[in-house]
A = this chain, B = another copy of it.
Amino acid sequence: MEEAHGRSGVSVTNDLVAEVVAQQLESMLSVGNYDGVKLLLAPVQPVDVAEAVGCLPRTLQALAFRLLGKDEAIEVYEYLEPAIQQSLLERLRSNEVLELVEEMSPDDRVRLLDELPAKVVRRLLVELSPAERRVTAQLLGYAPETAGRLMTTEYIDLKEFQTASQALSIVRRRARETETIYSLYVTDGQRHLTGILSLRDLVTADPSDCIGDVMTREVVSVGTDTDQEEVARAIQRYDFLAVPVVDRERRLVGIVTVDDVIDVIEQEATRDLYAAGAVEAGDEDDYFQSNLFTVARRRVVWLAVLVIANGFTTQVIAMNDAVLREVVMLAAFIPLLIGTGGNVGAQSSTVVIRGLSTQRIQPLGPWRAVVREALAGALLGLLMLLVVVPFAWWRGDGPLVGMAVGISLLAITTLAATAGAALPLLFNRMGLDPALMSAPFITTATDVAGVFIYLKTAEWLLLHAPQLLEATSISTHLLASLAF
């Protein structure tokens, strides 16, 4: 990308910005050049200031923070990592802390309090103004990852009898203190949500028009207990900038804005990806901030489950060792068979889990999805046969291994694709998270079945077509006599 030049602005989206700013900041702070700091930070976006402050040594963070203007300090603080927010709280004077927490928007304040020790939360809550304390306690009362926890209570509500020009002056007056002025909400005397209008509707309306005539009565809203993923999907589907949150009596209690929803979408995608990789997703998505033991803890449980599942595969092989003793070469194809079965199953579970998550599987329906995956598994198995059977025939020294590998490969890919599609759908139907049935589990489950099918097929062939083994021995002897 082209570099910025002249005073016309900074270009995006360089992660070095924060680093460069942090270096300059540190050297200016250490020589006490506070005016320089103010000049340096004035044109920088709050999120970049937050990252730069985060890069500073802890001792300088409070100093840098105090040099920010009051409004900017609040905005920067909201962007800081939770650990730095906490350490700043300890370093600032208690009146500074109180002012900061008092002025934060309610949703960001709740996110901060979620991270703090209960003792500190209680102390802070007591010191807040009654209005802010009430709204904070209300938001903290909703379950995590619901609309109630995600929403802010800073929105503009209008009345149906107001005129457009009255409404516009309300918007002007409240513009600085609310989260958004672009979505406006209309409520009746009991705070029931009766309509919605955008600032676009308002500025294009005739100044004497009544709000009741300009607003849209068909409002898409979510409940306080709606899951955050569903809230995100509503905003995404309808291209909204915000969605209103109503309580059980349909009273308007808050709004969720699109910027918070983008973070939810990223968080949910990370969770799905981690599930696909058998890693437990943390609450705060900070894998790279956590220490080695947290890393191991978030992986050991799934790993242990998978190891135990793999133990069953070992059991199946151990219990069928007679056929292996007869034809050792059968063992050489076990990884290929279960690997291919695992990969086909992983593909099916990946598309189905993602389809459930983005709801794109809906038009097809669960039954047709499973049948289609089963057919795809069989088709893919057939295609793989073209490569695998000749290889197994040659490398396995004859027709026995070739045929056993071929028959079981087809069975394994069909089974794996069916299980890969059906198990996440079944989990979803049972109200469980379908991502639990992601690739590693499908893979490990099909391992057991795959090895069983393979060894039983080979055993059956040995019993019912012993000439195959003979042919194998003959070709081995032939090869051996040719070689010497």
Contact = CB atoms under 8 A, between A and B. Distances in A.
A5 B250 contact: yes
Q: Is the interface of A mostly helix, strand, loop or mixed?
A: helix
Contacts of A218: 9-10, 43-45
Nearest to A286: B360
Interface string A91-135: 000000000000000000000000000000000000000000000
A465 interface: no
A380 to B, nearest CB: 6
B296 A9 contact: no
Given A223-B1, A236-B263, A273-B276, A217 B9 contact: yes
Interface string A179-208: 001100000000011110001100110000
Contacts of A380: 296, 299-300, 303
Could you say how many copies of this chain the assembly holds? 2
A307 B351 contact: no
A175 interface: yes
A367 to B, nearest CB: 13
A346 B277 contact: yes
Given A9-B217, A43-B218, A299-B347, A336 B307 contact: yes
A280 B443 CA distance: 19
A306 B339 contact: yes
Interface in A1-26: 1-2, 5, 7-13, 15
A338 B317 CA distance: 15
Interface stretch (A31-39, A59-67, A226-234): A226-234
Contact of A332 (B304, B318, B395): B318
A238 interface: yes
Contact of A12 (B222, B270, B360): B222
A457 interface: no
Interface residues of A, number: 141
Given A203-B168, A233-B13, A324-B328, A314 B336 contact: yes
Contacts of A5: 250
Contact of A314 (B44, B279, B335, B355): B335
Contact of A287 (B7, B181, B300, B351): B351
Contacts of A447: 335, 339
A161 interface: no
A360 to B, nearest CB: 5
A204 B175 contact: yes
Nearest to A75: B239
Interface of A: 1-2, 5, 7-13, 15, 43-45, 47, 168, 171-172, 175-176, 181-182, 192-195, 199-200, 203-204, 217-223, 225-226, 230, 233-239, 241, 243, 246, 248, 250, 258-259, 261-263, 265-266, 269-270, 272-274, 276-279, 285-289, 292, 295-296, 299-300, 302-304, 306-308, 310-311, 313-315, 317-318, 321, 324-325, 328-329, 331-336, 338-340, 342-344, 346-347, 349-351, 353-355, 358-364, 369, 372, 375-376, 379-380, 383-384, 387-388, 391, 395, 439-440, 443-444, 447, 451
Shortest 3 CB-CB contacts between residues of A and residues of B: A277-B350, A269-B269, A9-B219
